[in-house]
Amino acid sequence: MAAAAPPPPPSPIPIPATTLRENHPIGHPLFARIRLATRSDVPNIHKLIHQMAVFERLTHLFSATEDSLSATLFDTNPSPPFHSFTVFILEVSTNPFLPTAAAAPFQPITKSFNFDLPIADPESELFRSAGNDAVVAGFVLFFPNYSTFLAKPGFYIEDLFVRECYRRKGLGKMLLSAVATQAAVMGYGRVEWVVLDWNVNAIKFYEEMGAQVLQEWRICRLTGEALQVYAHT
């Protein structure tokens, strides 16, 4: 009797195909945008400045109000952007930002990041951006100054601040780069700012960005009663 043919080998179990959406990043994307601030941003700017004062241990010097910020930063007859006080707002969102009109005085800067873990923002509702679903993560305030040695204008950065949960993720670099890029495009000679001597993380960050920390210079300031004395001379 002929031997029976061996049974066929078992068919492999089909594995369902998984198709990632085109250009869909693996991980947790975060979209960032830098844009010019408007008067509607004042409440968030005020909260950011207060958080900065807490971080710098200078709350005893903090007296700004929303009204005073609105009156001084957003005058009824404002100067063109970059010719007076200018504020860049840093927004973040889990969704891409829509393009803006090409005729805007400053084209917002956008960048996407991808992180292994999502960013937990316990204050996301407190810092909700006006008019969209984005969250305000930081700001930079700067204005023109002048170098007689260079015979060129420049920018002085009064404040640059990123909220704690968004630090060390490249967003501070994005803000500082935006100011430096604007200065270079306008043919300005330099960008300057100050840093607290105990803030070693900030000093290291600025040096990595190419900035020189000028140890031989000191800040001189007239303010408060010492300044008001001159109103009566």
If pLDDT is split at 50, 70 and 90, which confidence band does 145 have? very high
Look up 156 and say whether it is catalytic.
Answer: no
pLDDT on residue 12: 54
In sequence order, what are the beta bridge partners of 111?
Answer: 32
pLDDT cut 70: percent of the chain above it = 88
pLDDT on residue 233: 79
Mean pLDDT of the chain: 90
pLDDT at 193 over 90: yes
Q: Which residue has the higher pLDDT, 7 or 58?
A: 58
pLDDT on residue 18: 41
pLDDT on residue 103: 66
Catalytic residue among 166, 188, 206, 230: 206
Angle between helices 171-185 and 200-208 in degrees, nearest 10: 50
Mean pLDDT of 21-29: 64
Mean pLDDT of 185-199: 97
pLDDT cut 90: percent of the chain above it = 80
If pLDDT is split at 50, 70 and 90, which confidence band does 17 have? very low
pLDDT on residue 120: 96
The span from the CA of 92 to the CA of 135, in Å, is 5
pLDDT on residue 2: 46
pLDDT at 85 over 50: yes
